[in-house]
A and B are shown apart, each in its own frame.
Chain A
């Protein structure tokens, strides 16, 4: 099976978020970048599927040259080859059009990615890629099993889960516990350096949204401590001060 895994290059989950250039640019000073955590679940699942049934795993990232260490990490984890579309991933629609353009010229049986990126949290790229390719899309999936040409998946819904079936090809957004993250070993890290990483130029995409500026939340006031001997005071405060009950 030929699998395409789409990965985002995002600040580590513990990063302090701030902006520069009059709040129009993300401040990446001191920020550690990682493979999007949900995307890493997708990548781990793709590698499990290849190990069980053969085939190949290609990773794709839409990003400028600074994302290459993140792509190399995906290769070290076990992807066979990689594609970088050389462009700043300015919005979901732009990214989806780039991925769809690559997928159109290489037929994949399965396209996996995380349920959302942890920077913009749009959760839209899987649905957009699928729509552009005329394929079904399912998200967020927590389990995927293959039986011939059909996949059985468990999808998270409010208050529970839904079991769905779909024939290949399709696009899915993944989340835990679909697979265990894999720690790259020394052999993986060494071989990642020589695995193919193709750099493609972006296709034209019509602008549908424009980012104007960023804002950070106002700092929270001090926490009001309640005597643990009389915790019911909390309800008086919630009623009379916070006015929410």
Chain B
């Protein structure tokens, strides 16, 4: 034992010396010490809701790695050849080079199917993680000053990820993705006046043509990933520079950022998360079949398969297309296809305009305020939360409508009745969701006031000498009381004068709509002083 211990100590000393020397060598040539001083002790949040963005990041890492591997074998050509691979049902069928190489990857390249399926699963997961991360940031108000620009970068990432996903989905040139491109083609054609020219430009002639797949391939493996990587880097640099937001709590105020240091806590945790994401993707890729293009067959412009659904993140557009009534207008020798233009061009345009513009809009309504580094609890801003939930409900109805044929088939319903039900729901659902959510948020605030006034129910029930049953109550725990009381509620704008311009009156009305309803919580003067301190704005950093 003693002998071994001596050897271990000698080994330890040697390792330490090697590390010292290595660091000196690096530091003489690179800004290693400066970087380490800033980076290693940098605080990172440890609440689970802050890991959602990391999930997106790590699934993107998996996407880049698996995607790079797939480029070694994939050929996006549209030249027609005869299939002679090892999948017998398709033997001798005329297929495109792209479809042939997808089958080649799936059946003849070692590990090809696994990596292909991992890539597809990771893409679905990437978009889901982005969506959930976006919702987290929205509902906690983490987009407020100074993070508006980072929000916009994030929305751009979302948009690019959608495009990237659609391009990748279209590449194998199978019957399903070809149907998707046919839809995309009609969407482009629906743009008034410019549509036919744009379609001619993208497809290099009439649909399907031979140039689009090559263009999509370059977009998918070069331009979009390049833009994604650059914007992800900018996103992270801004998170570094602006610091993360945090939930309020003792010691966590608007001026002090707390968290775990980058090294070793955050590094260990985050590496673990990366490994878990990669592992889950590998397990899904190995066990769960996805996009079996050999079952769909090669694309032919005169064929459509039933039960054709896009990947889930494009499903809301598909749903909007299916719900839209068949409206058309003929004017001056042109046909305006409202049935495609509104759901597939105007709707996504509106969605992204709202996403980009929301922080600016809310700031305009709120009026001039300082920086916000503490997360809002969704219940403390009922109108914003209500709007968010309304948007989620509208999205969910559209997504459901994207599978209306499958839903009708599975539940033995009439597809027409279902479509009409969803048409009504997509209009009324969000309104009902908004009202219910706002009401619920206020109810939660009321509950907190009750808890503060009467104490928390411990669950122990006591019986009095008269036989009455009463819950036992206890003092609210300090961290809970802090969470209830430290909240940053803007005051509604004062009512404007009669002669005020319409813009000012509109702003005042919106401000009242946002901030007038609230539950006042009982506070002592000392608590009010503490709250004010916790919410005080940080001082500007002098450079």
Do A and B assemble together? no
Mark A residues whose CB is within 8 Å of B.
none
Mark B residues whose CB is within 8 Å of A.
none
